[in-house]
Amino acid sequence: MLFTTDQQTTEDLNIFGKHGGDSIFTMFNHTSTRGGAAIMESMFHSPLSNHSLINKRSRIIQYFSATDSFPFDAVLFDIADQYLANTDERTKLSFEAGSFVKRLSNLVAEDPAYKFVYTGVTAMIEILSSLRSFTEKLALTQEASVKEDLDVITAYLRSSPFDSLPTGNRNGKLAYTELQEVDVLFRFRHRDIIKKLLQYIYHIDVYISVGKTAAHRGFTFPKALQKELHLLNLQGVYHPRLAAPVPNDFNLTPSGNVIFLTGANMAGKSTFMKSVGIAVYLAHMGFPVPADMMEFSVLDGIYTTINLPDNLGSGTSHFYAEVLRVKKVAKELALGKNLFVMFDELFRGTNVKDAYEATIAITTGFAEKKHSMFVISTHIIEAGETLSKRCENIRFSYLPTKMNGLSPEYTYTLKSGITADRHGMLIINNEGIIELLKKGKTQAK
Amino acid sequence: MSFITDKQTLDDLNILGKYKPGSMFNLFNTGQTAGGERLLEDMFRFPLSDADLINRRSRIFQFFRSHALTFPFDQDQLTQMESYLQDSGEHTLLETGLRVIRKLVSAWLLKDEPYAVMQAGLLATTAVLQTCQVLLDKLNIQDRQHPYFDQVAAVGDILNDSRLAWIKTEKEAIPLSFLHVIRYDHLLRKILKNELNIILSFIYHFDVCLAVNQVAIANELSFGVALPASRNRMEAANLRHPTIKKAVGNVLSLSENTNLIFLTGANMAGKSTLMKAFGITMYLAHMGFPVAAESLEFSVKDGIYTSINVPDNLNMGYSHFYAEVLRVKKIAEKVSQGENMIIIFDELFKGTNVKDAYEATLAVTEAFASYRCCFFMISTHIIEVAEALKTICHNIRFAYLPTVMSGNVPTYTYRLEQGVTSDRQGMMIIENEKILEILYSDQGLHPNT
């Protein structure tokens, strides 16, 4: 089964970014080759939902994080890709082309078809010889997950005809007949194998790039646990795009699988939710996460609702957009999926009484799904009080505010309990709006 | 003094923008000429804030309604005339003569076009002026009090200038003699340059008037009556949103004693549309343009500010709430300076939690309401605010857009009613979507239980 998510979630967590800005994808994407970038992107698009696959990829990345640079000449891959993309039979070098007359005319003006094949073939041969020495070095590894893929590649390289590719004359120049023969091998007869070998190299590129990012940023590799444990244990999780993030500890179990989060407007609720969401998302890709330690049971998907856009233009109100979003999640849950679900400021688009009732009804319903995990933030603390009596598996956390005179200060450190902190009026008062209006009034009189 | 507004307001009401679907500019931009489009844009950019000017412009538009007029000018000729007149400089008659001769010689020798182009421009101008004369005869405005009199008379004077007498006799088909070309060219492009530009402006203005009138008829728009600011009232019957088909009309009235309409209603009941309709109507009315209402009387105000779709400015690090606070602050500054404004707030403080929004809406509404010379329309989904306001302020009209339940499905009348809504169908929407049923549907069927 695939790990499911949707556009709202990836936008909330800024996985891909709208304009290629500070997204999570660009944070990791330092690949040297275009093929590597494509693989990286497909990994981001389809996280895994199988703990052994996750752990395998994670171990491979850890292994390669020791490698400091991509051990191939990246320029060669652009040539090779272009060369391999041309599968037109007519571009094969013809036999009579080897004739004396042709060769003579080639001396006068170079034949573009010949040149195309020549540069392509030499690039491929160079790539393959680099790959050979790379695999020979790697053969010493004890890491089982690395060895698994390596063995396949080594087998290809040792099989005919890859074990005895021509190396050219003393100047490294291939004879015309050799060239003709190898071209057919690469582009037509053993095309599949060549593609596999290149894909392997592109994967290596991705692993090295991710490993470097992990080492550079001090990320840790999470441990994927079996689905049936329904655990999430995060220590020191933080938002990777902040300059001075405050790390938090956070865990969820079947006996406490719902976090009811309260806190003032700027206390960092959204940021906290985003950092947890990013960690869960990356962990399911087998990637390193911005945390000190992470253990997690593999889930079937993640759905967040942090910046739900108003579609006032299209006529649906914010509240209705929220309801539809909740419905979507409810449907997924009803399919028996184990999900990670986050709602920021649930039902802020309606009146106080409705928001209270709806929050209680929906949260109680969610709490029944003990195998999924929920983080729900709200300002309706009364709902929290009612819920604490009704459900045992809801845990209450808040992000505190300290008042320093008139200006609020935030610790960004999660505490357990419910807070009634609100600063909406404070912000309005700090801006002096009401005074402004009153003063204008008295002056007018 | 010009009418005060800002980009946010123009965006909210979708006023400007040639390429924006449904914009008011687009609605009225049906003229024939590029110059007319420029003039229309100027009118849109600078609404008036003087009752006499507004009524005068509006009466000119209304004059067109009572006369079946069409645009008599040939588009190609107009374009040729424009480019011909643009290409003018400060020359003496002698210089003009030499230039014409040079063009003629080069046309002979090199078979090039400048001479032909110039001659065509001259002929096009002649034709346009002839058409203009025909149009004036048709308009035939003698009444000095007529709002259109001044403009028409100015053009008439120019056309009757003795120096242009040849226009009336000149026939298009006959090629002009060389000496005539020199004389006429000098006359049109140098001596009467400003006069001809006045005629062009008149033609553009005529184009705009025609277009506005056609749009008014097609969309059943009518003209408002501007009152002096001191009267401080507005009254509209059957006010609609101009670009919504089959829009429902509503009666709106505001005065010194009730200068604030506090609007409640369920989500989707049409609050935003009503507020936009109000804003658009007031904006167009201040331009002297026809509005989507059966009748409208309004005191002229100094400007309009709306806050309907406040954009998040996350790039600047503002939260939605803070963006709204800054917007309200900006408006409060203007209001406290004593400007008579029209203020529209839709779903004030929706970017924060309901409790903060409740307190903030209450405090801000109360403070604004005391400015009796401004008109406000404020909406919220937090009906608790309305209950609290009822006891504090007495110059507020409470209105709501009702929801009628047909079975389990909410339907909307879009017809404004007095009072505060008691519809709370937040939970009902949730029930209609059957979310709780979905959540509880698989109890016992869960693979892991």
Residue A20: its pLDDT value, please?
56
Residue B421 in any domain: the answer is yes
Residue B314: its pLDDT value, please?
45
Residue A308 has pLDDT above 90, yes or no: no
Residue B446 near chain A (CB below 8 Å): yes
Do B234 and B212 reside in the same domain of the chain? Answer: no
Domain boundary among B161, B189, B216: B216
Do B385 and B410 reside in the same domain of the chain? Answer: yes
- Asked if A368 lies within 8 A of B439 by C-beta distance, the reply is yes
How many angstroms separate the CA of residue A440 from the nearest CA in chain B?
Answer: 4
Residue B428 in any domain: the answer is yes
Chain centroid, CA B443 distance in Å: 58
> Which contiguous run of DSSP H or E holds residue B55?
helix B51-66
Residue B431: its pLDDT value, please?
80
Do B230 and B144 reside in the same domain of the chain? Answer: no
Contacts of B308 in chain A (CB under 8 A): 312
pLDDT for A314-330, tens place per residue? 445 677 788 888 999 99
Q: Which domain, by its residues, includes B191?
A: 75-216
Residue A316: its pLDDT value, please?
55
- Suggest the residue from A226, A331, A433, A434 to mutate for an interface test with chain B (most B CBs closer than 10 A): A433
Contacts of B356 in chain A (CB under 8 A): 265, 379, 422-425
Percentage, residues of chain A above pLDDT 70: 92
pLDDT category at A374 given cuts 50, 70, 90 is very high
Residue B155 in any domain: the answer is yes
Domain boundary among B191, B216, B241: B216
How many other CB atoms are found less than 10 A from the CB of residue B375?
A: 28
Mean pLDDT for A203-213 is: 93
How many other CB atoms are found less than 10 A from the CB of residue A69?
A: 8
Do B141 and B237 reside in the same domain of the chain? Answer: no
- Asked if A319 lies within 8 A of B429 by C-beta distance, the reply is yes
Query: Which residue type does A186 have?
Result: F
pLDDT for A85-98, tens place per residue? 988 888 887 766 55
Kind of pairing between the strands at B233-239 and B250-255: antiparallel
Which domains occur in chain A, in start order? 31-217 (1.10.1420), 223-440 (3.40.50.300)
Contacts of A378 in chain B (CB under 8 A): 353
Contacts of B427 in chain A (CB under 8 A): 354, 357-358, 361
Predicted confidence pLDDT, tens digits, chain B (449 residues): 689 999 989 988 999 988 888 899 999 999 999 999 999 999 999 999 899 999 999 999 999 988 888 899 998 999 989 888 887 667 778 888 888 888 888 888 888 888 888 888 888 998 999 999 999 988 888 888 888 898 999 999 999 988 888 887 766 556 677 788 888 888 888 888 889 999 999 999 999 999 999 999 999 999 999 999 999 999 999 999 998 888 889 999 999 999 999 998 876 788 888 999 999 999 999 999 999 999 999 999 999 999 887 655 444 445 667 788 888 999 999 999 888 999 999 888 876 777 788 888 999 999 999 999 999 999 987 888 998 999 998 999 999 998 887 877 778 889 999 998 876 667 777 888 888 888 887 654 443 33
Do B142 and B234 reside in the same domain of the chain? Answer: no
Domain boundary among B182, B199, B216: B216
Do B170 and B307 reside in the same domain of the chain? Answer: no
Residue B6 in any domain: the answer is no
Residue B47 in any domain: the answer is no
| Residue B371 near residue A441, CB atoms below 8 Å | yes
Do B147 and B254 reside in the same domain of the chain? Answer: no
pLDDT for A258-271, tens place per residue? 999 988 877 888 88
Do B211 and B229 reside in the same domain of the chain? Answer: no
Say what the ipTM of the complex is: 0.70
Instruction: List own/partner pairs for B10-16 with CB under 8 A and 24 or more apart.
Output: B11/B309, B12/B276, B12/B279, B12/B306, B12/B307, B12/B308, B12/B309, B12/B344, B13/B276, B13/B279, B13/B280, B13/B283, B13/B306, B13/B308, B14/B243, B14/B276, B14/B280, B15/B44, B15/B280, B15/B283, B16/B41, B16/B44, B16/B45
Residue B1 in any domain: the answer is no
Residue B444: its pLDDT value, please?
45
Please tell me which of the candidates B268, B354, B370 has its beta carbon nearest to residue A441. Answer: B370
Residues linked to residue A402 through DSSP beta bridges, in sequence order? A409
Where is mean pLDDT largest: A22-26, A37-41, A388-392, B148-152? A37-41
Residue B394 near chain A (CB below 8 Å): no
Residue B183: its pLDDT value, please?
85
Residue A89: its pLDDT value, please?
81
Contacts of B370 in chain A (CB under 8 A): 437, 441
- Asked if B363 lies within 8 A of A428 by C-beta distance, the reply is yes
**Bigger pLDDT: B318 vs A282:** A282
Residue A311 has pLDDT above 60, yes or no: no
Q: CA-to-CA distance for B198 and B148, rounded, in angstroms?
A: 15
Residue B174: its pLDDT value, please?
61
Residue B351: its pLDDT value, please?
66
Contacts of B309 in chain A (CB under 8 A): 310, 312-313
Residue A267: its pLDDT value, please?
82
pLDDT category at A83 given cuts 50, 70, 90 is very high
pLDDT category at A1 given cuts 50, 70, 90 is low
Do B114 and B80 reside in the same domain of the chain? Answer: yes
How many angstroms separate the CA of residue B287 from the nearest CA in chain A?
Answer: 25
The SS3 of residue A395 is strand
> Which bin fits A343, alpha (ψ -120 to 50), beta or left (φ > 0)?
beta
Q: How many domains does chain B have?
A: 2
Residue B2 in any domain: the answer is no
pLDDT for A418-437, tens place per residue? 887 777 788 888 888 888 88
- Asked if B267 lies within 8 A of A324 by C-beta distance, the reply is no
Residue A168: its pLDDT value, please?
65
Do B186 and B251 reside in the same domain of the chain? Answer: no
Residue A348 has pLDDT above 60, yes or no: yes
Residue B17 in any domain: the answer is no
Termini Cα distance of chain A: 72
Kindly report the CATH number assigned to the domain that includes residue B315: 3.40.50.300
- Suggest the residue from A257, A298, A341, A351 to mutate for an interface test with chain B (most B CBs closer than 10 A): A351
- Suggest the residue from B260, B309, B327, B356 to mutate for an interface test with chain A (most A CBs closer than 10 A): B356
Do B283 and B368 reside in the same domain of the chain? Answer: yes
Residue of A nearest to B383 (CA): A351
Do B189 and B297 reside in the same domain of the chain? Answer: no
**Bigger pLDDT: B196 vs A444:** B196
